Amino acid sequence: MRRHWQRAPLLARGAFPGFASPIEPAALFGLAARDDVESRLVARDGGRWTLRHGPFERLPSRRRPDWTLLVQGTDLHDDAMHALMSRFRFVPDARVDDLMVSFATDGGGVGPHVDQYDVFLLQARGTRRWRIAPPGDPTLVPGVPLKLLSRFEPTEAWVLEPGDMLYLPPGWGHDGVAVGECMTFSIGFRAPSRLEFLSAFLAAAADAPGGPDPRFGDRGRRAGAHPGALPDDLARRLHDWAVGWRPSAAEVDRFVGCWLTEPKATVWFEGPERGLDPARFARAAARDGLRLDRRSRMAWRGAGVFANGEALEAPAPARRWLRRLADRRALTAAECSRALADDGLAAILHGWYDAGWLRLDETPAPR
């Protein structure tokens, strides 16, 4: 982290010794057929590129070269992939995006491109040849459905085998080409831009209920000779509203926590088929423990606790347990026995269980 994170690429040979992919191609193809999973199909025919979005009922033959299937968020749908993603929790959860899997036939790839976020590229099956280039000319190839660099001048190249991993900081150009059939895991990290954040924040602020909403008025205005001119008083009032509006620190902090834990649009939760009433839930948790559902996003900052896009006002005794749940993504049976003695916390956790955010099982995420 000190030498390479957001500074320089790092090739780690044998980062995962004896690595075997937790997901087989057939299971990946099954995910790509679902409408709650984001997937893309990239193919190249000579110099012509095509891009299609899933779900996919049928895919090209695996004997056909030069095509790639990209499946996002596999960690949200498979326990083994979620466990692998948890190996990267040395970076705060709020920065983690998802685990994308790329399946490619011989020669398949998505062309030379740049990502504006950190990424670990873990070779899972077969081999892939990577070429990389330092940040440079961002000009893209025109008329192509992919953001391909028009001037890609690689400075280093390697062939990665299963268990090898390549880290790239934001802005580094890279081009990976399958050598035979292969699968590559891409562990990506969120890097919000100012425009992205402000667009979301201002939209939320505009929708939030507030105090009085003043409206422009111009009683006593005299008839003018230039109806096409913007009135000075109207322009000044709108200007004053724009530069005079200031959100409170609490409003910003609340939005940040909610926004950074908001699940993706393709994520939805399902509660247990046979739910438990609060008393039976407390007994079961004291016996089995609790863990966050693999799709749940949770964070805390100061006195604030945030889960799946919602802010929680929790009393101080409950915050200790909620912070532990966010850090470890699980509470043991013994911890649940003590934590659920707090009626307020018990109601919170039971509500999360009913919503599908929380499961009965004390298995923690690997560290």
Residue among 67, 30, 71 at smallest CA distance from 50: 67
pLDDT for the residue 275: 87
Q: Rounded CA gap, 72 and 207, in Å?
A: 30
Q: Does domain 10-189 correspond to CATH entry 3.20.20.450?
A: no
Q: Rounded CA gap, 336 and 334, in Å?
A: 5
**What is the crossing angle of helices 194-207 and 249-260, to 10°?**
110
Topology match between the domains 10-189 and 194-204+249-367? no
Q: Return the half-sphere exposure (C-beta side, CA atoms, 13 A cut-off) of residue 42.
A: 19
Exposed/middle/buried for residue 227 (C-beta within 10 Å: 0-12, 13-18, 19+) = exposed
- For residue 312, the cross-strand partners are 305
Contact 338, 330 (CB under 8 A): no
Report the first-to-last Cα separation within the chain, whole angstroms. 16
Contact 98, 72 (CB under 8 A): yes
Q: Rounded CA gap, 185 and 152, in Å?
A: 23
Q: Omega into 145 within 30° of 0, i.e. cis?
A: no
CB atoms near residue 229 (< 10 Å): 9
Sign of the alpha-carbon dihedral angle for 12, 13, 18, 19:
positive
The parts of the chain modelled with pLDDT lower than 70 are: 362-367
Q: Which fold does the domain 194-204+249-367 belong to in CATH?
A: Malonyl-Coenzyme A Acyl Carrier Protein; domain 2 (3.40.366)
b/e per residue 178-214 (b: at least 16 CB within 10 A): beebbbbbbbbbeeeeeeeeeeebeeeeeeeeeeeee
- Give, as one character, the DSSP assignment of residue 218: -
Domain-wise residue ranges, the chain: 10-189, 194-204+249-367
Tell me, rounded to whole angstroms, the distance of Cα 194 from its chain centroid.
17
Contact 139, 149 (CB under 8 A): yes
Q: Rounded CA gap, 131 and 149, in Å?
A: 13
CB atoms near residue 278 (< 10 Å): 16
pLDDT for the residue 367: 47
DSSP string computed for 116-133: SS-EEEEEEEEEEEEEEE
| Three-state secondary-structure class, residue 160 | strand
Find where tokens 């891009």 sit: 51
